[in-house]
A and B are shown apart, each in its own frame.
Chain A
């Protein structure tokens, strides 16, 4: 009997496991190879990374060695950060992301908490309206912003873009925090109110201490939206206030013509590294955020 089971296990292992591990290996390669390849290539010269003669040059850096006598060069990075002043865009991105996350979490937490603790009909309609707003591509709103922003002379500056990104972010943040607050038992703040707290005091002293896991998750997604946005930021920011992603798009045009494409490669890698670190430190939070939305639906 045991021998039979053992044989069956071997058989199962052969058919299922090999196929499964092959599939996963294939997927991991597809998912991560482009990043590794571009990261490796960003330390080479253009003739290696975009090699006409032999793709293997990108791996060993033949032309890089001939030019700089070393297989790795930081010239792309120096060109991007110093010559093309990518540090300015990095700073702008940091400012935009910081304020977008802080603001959208502050107003989103208050709103989502209220939505989760109210049973009136308008709560449902507010959530549906938020869902509709979430469905609209943000770029469809830009035509609505431009005339007003030009009229009031607030086009092109960072604060305007920050407020716009916060607003675009709200529907998503509200839904995510709403489903999170639903999981915090109502009895907690109810009992605080019985003890004589106002609603705000109950929120301040009972809910705030226990809400951080959900808030951090929502903050991560706000950060990603602000960091990754291209359509809105590139239309709302003037050239000198550009954040990283519009700057990279602008790079592409100029560096192709000037033959400095390695600057763009270095800039692309520079903008990816913060995201890489984010996944590394917050993997669990990101996964739980994705799943949280799903469970509540």
Chain B
């Protein structure tokens, strides 16, 4: 395709992404290194027949002037990144010196809001991803072995947890694990403790969120792996059987190697999607026990006072986090592309 034709075809989508993805990133970077201007006060003397008084008021002219000259606000460099709400360099330094063991250090680090969110986000990402891969693979294996006629129905019901709106899915589960809900009641009955509440403890809240995450993500790996299983070469399996391989060996030595590209793909997508975990925290009303990077951005942006600079810094840190997470995979894609050439 000629450069010119290509240009006109790609223009609309390019413009959409440039204006609403690229420029906002630039704007976010700029906002993260500026804060709103300080209020400028002026003192004037008001004189009336009874004497003179000193009155302090906002100097609107000066403020407007300043806003016109520096519309982004006051330049503060990386100050917001290093403050207590974000990387908290000073506090971290102090904690590092005051705590003797690493575990003690980590647990006091957890009291800082950004690190608290980071801990949960990473824990969520790195527990949900492997669990959903394994369970999705097991279900795919199972479905591959049942009656052909049943498979359509199984796939239909399997899709529901993934297709449902994340916020709605988490609310539905939240109502069920409520101490008056059916799962909540069931758990109380198992542990014989009528006051057991999943919402009260941090550990149980984390487990609950991870269970939700797995529930929501299994269908994806299941569907992809199930499709992959249809393409496993039959002759290889047959010759393995003739050589006396067990079912287990068959899976380890033939099926799994065949699925490796799919496993990489699902892992890539899941790392991206789990890193942005947000809706379940709102749905489960769990912010007292678990916050995520996306949640702290949302929290800064919502409500009466929109703290744009703080949200912008968190956003940039989150983007950096995603980049680090995906860098190995991006490098591999890049290498593949050049090796193929």
**Residue positions of A touching B, CB distance < 8 A:** 16-17, 20-21, 23-24, 27-28, 30-32, 34-35, 37-38, 49-52, 55, 58, 106-108, 110-111, 113-115, 117-118, 120, 124, 126, 128-148, 163-164, 166-168, 170-171, 174, 199-200, 203, 224, 227-228, 230-231, 234-235, 245, 248-249, 252, 264-265, 268, 271-272, 275-276, 278-280, 283, 286-287, 290-291, 293-295, 297
Interface size for chain B: under 10, 10 to 19, 20 to 34, or 35 or more residues?
35 or more
B21, A167: Cβ atoms closer than 8 Å: yes
Nearest CB in chain B to that of A41: its residue: B175
A230 to B171 CA separation, bound complex (whole angstroms): 13
Give 13 pairs: A residue, B residue, CB < 8 Å, sorted on A. A16-B247, A23-B139, A31-B160, A106-B12, A111-B12, A124-B337, A140-B319, A146-B306, A167-B16, A231-B294, A272-B168, A291-B224, A293-B265
A-B residue pairs, 3 tightest by C-beta: A144-B24, A167-B20, A114-B9
**Residue positions of B touching A, CB distance < 8 A:** 1-3, 5-6, 9-10, 12-14, 16-17, 19-21, 23-28, 31, 138-139, 142-143, 145-146, 152, 154-161, 163-169, 171-173, 175-176, 178, 180-182, 185-186, 215, 218-220, 223-224, 227-228, 247, 261-262, 264-266, 269, 272, 275-276, 278-279, 282, 285, 293-294, 297-298, 300-302, 306, 308, 311-312, 315-316, 318-319, 322-323, 326, 330, 333-334, 337
- Tell me which of B168, B181, B334 contacts A248 (CB under 8 A): B168
Known: A111-B12, A230-B282, A297-B261. A291 touches B272 (CB 8 A): no
Q: Within 8 Å CB of B166, what residues of A?
A: 228, 230
A271 to B164 CA separation, bound complex (whole angstroms): 9
Shortest C-beta distance, B71 to chain A (Å), equals 9
Shortest C-beta distance, B129 to chain A (Å), equals 14
A27, B10: Cβ atoms closer than 8 Å: no
Known pairs A23-B139, A230-B278, A265-B175 / 10 extra A-B pairs, C-beta < 8 Å: A28-B154, A31-B218, A137-B322, A139-B297, A140-B318, A146-B301, A248-B167, A286-B163, A287-B155, A294-B262
Q: Within 8 Å CB of B145, what residues of A?
A: 16-17, 20
B315, A140: Cβ atoms closer than 8 Å: yes
A31 to B138 CA separation, bound complex (whole angstroms): 15
Interface of B is mostly: helix
Q: Within 8 Å CB of B164, what residues of A?
A: 35, 272, 275
A143, B171: Cβ atoms closer than 8 Å: no
Shortest C-beta distance, B260 to chain A (Å), equals 11
A30 to B271 CA separation, bound complex (whole angstroms): 23
B182, A290: Cβ atoms closer than 8 Å: no
- Tell me which of B17, B178, B227, B337 contacts A294 (CB under 8 A): B227
A249, B167: Cβ atoms closer than 8 Å: yes
Shortest C-beta distance, B147 to chain A (Å), equals 10
A255 to B167 CA separation, bound complex (whole angstroms): 16
Q: Within 8 Å CB of A234, what residues of B?
A: 302
A142, B165: Cβ atoms closer than 8 Å: no
Known: A31-B161, A37-B182, A50-B178. A115 touches B142 (CB 8 A): no
B14, A111: Cβ atoms closer than 8 Å: yes
Nearest CB in chain B to that of A292: its residue: B227
A291, B223: Cβ atoms closer than 8 Å: yes
A143, B297: Cβ atoms closer than 8 Å: yes
A268 to B17 CA separation, bound complex (whole angstroms): 32
A134 to B19 CA separation, bound complex (whole angstroms): 15
B157, A28: Cβ atoms closer than 8 Å: yes
A268 to B169 CA separation, bound complex (whole angstroms): 9
Shortest C-beta distance, B9 to chain A (Å), equals 3
Known: A27-B158, A110-B13. A137 touches B275 (CB 8 A): yes
